[in-house]
Amino acid sequence: MEPHSLVIILLAVAVGSYLQALTGFALGIIVLAIAVLTHAASISIVATTITIVAVPGIAIALARHWRHIDRASFIQTLVGLIPGTLLGLALLAKMSKEHTALLQLSLGGLIVAGGIALFIKPQPLASRSGPISFALMGLLGGLMGGMFSIPGPPLIYHYYRQPVSLQTIRTSLLALSGAMALIRLLMQGLQGELNQDVLSLGTLSIPVAILASWLYVRFPPRLSDLNLRRGAFALFVAMGGFISLTALVPDALPPANASAVVSPHHSTPAP
């Protein structure tokens, strides 16, 4: 990998890890979006790197706040998250070979939806949702997470509607993101997808993610929650919209780079 490309990816990991600690779901969105927009590395390598990076970064963020995890909903969501993640990985393998433009369009749409989910403030329900609803949202979140390393707006929106504290919501989403990352990492390891390129980039990215997560714990942002949401919303919509545009209009990017696709099955870096 070229030095400037490595710097771009590591900066993306730093920003994504900091926002992940803040929101509970931003790491995959930020790193995948920047990879597509800058062509710093092939999306296949970056997608698996996200999985490697997520685990220690989330662990650092949860170190002081793990007691805020809503254990009941976490277990109920995990019931759907596990099979959903496996299904998402299978769909990714198929779509990356046969429907690359659709895959990139789906990623762009998911990033836009993630921004919307972060910005809106759904009214809390009068009472907690039942176990079946958490399992179903876990299934949908796992499906999107298996494909893109992003838990997915349906799961995020569902948690933000629960009548619990914001700290509990964010910490629970972080824990679910960590569980999804472990599942993906295990499956990719069993399938032989953790090649030298991925492991090297992941090894370099882990300390960056840990430092960024520690910085969030030590120096949380002083901006208001509303301003943070507005900024993230604008960023996600802009990135997701452009990624969708490149899928619909390939000429929006240089021809040599227009075929970038989220896939863990091919590990040749983008030129």
pLDDT digits (tens, 9 = 90+) for 16-60: 888 877 766 678 888 888 887 888 877 667 878 888 887 877 788
pTM: 0.74
Predicted pLDDT at 257: 44
- Rank 8-12, 49-53, 91-95 by mean pLDDT and report only the highest: 8-12
In this prediction, residues 118-136 reach a mean pLDDT of 84
Location of structure tokens 């920003």: 15
Residue 122: pLDDT band with limits 50, 70, 90? low
Identify whether the C-beta of residue 19 lies closer than 8 Å to the C-beta of residue 54.
no
What does the pLDDT read at residue 213? 84
Helix/strand/coil for 25:
coil
Task: Give me the mean pLDDT over the 107-113 stretch.
Answer: 82
255 Cβ partners below 8 Å, 6+ apart? none
Per cent of the chain over pLDDT 70 is 86
The answer to whether residues 79 and 86 touch, using CB atoms and an 8 Å cutoff, is: no
Instruction: List all residues 6 or more positions away from 164 whose beta carbon is below 8 Å from its beta carbon.
Output: 70, 128
Q: Average pLDDT, stretch 214-224?
A: 82
Residue 159 has pLDDT above 60, yes or no: yes
260 contacts 104 by C-beta, under 8 angstroms: yes
Whether the per-residue pLDDT at 263 is higher than 70: the answer is no
Report the pLDDT value the prediction gives residue 111, as an integer from 0 to 100. 80
Q: What is the mean pLDDT of the chain?
A: 81
In this prediction, residue 251 carries a pLDDT of: 57
Residue ranges of domains in the chain: 3-257
Say yes or no to pLDDT of 143 above 60: yes
Given this model, what pLDDT does residue 83 score?
Answer: 95
The CB-side HSE value for 57 (13 A sphere, CA atoms) comes to 37
Question: Residue written as tokens 């980039």?
Answer: 201
CB of 111 closer than 8 Å to CB of 104: no
| pLDDT for the residue 260 | 42
**pLDDT score for 208:** 92
What are the strands, taking DSSP E only, across 61-145? none
Q: What is the mean pLDDT of residues 195-206?
A: 88
Does 64 have pLDDT greater than 50?
A: yes
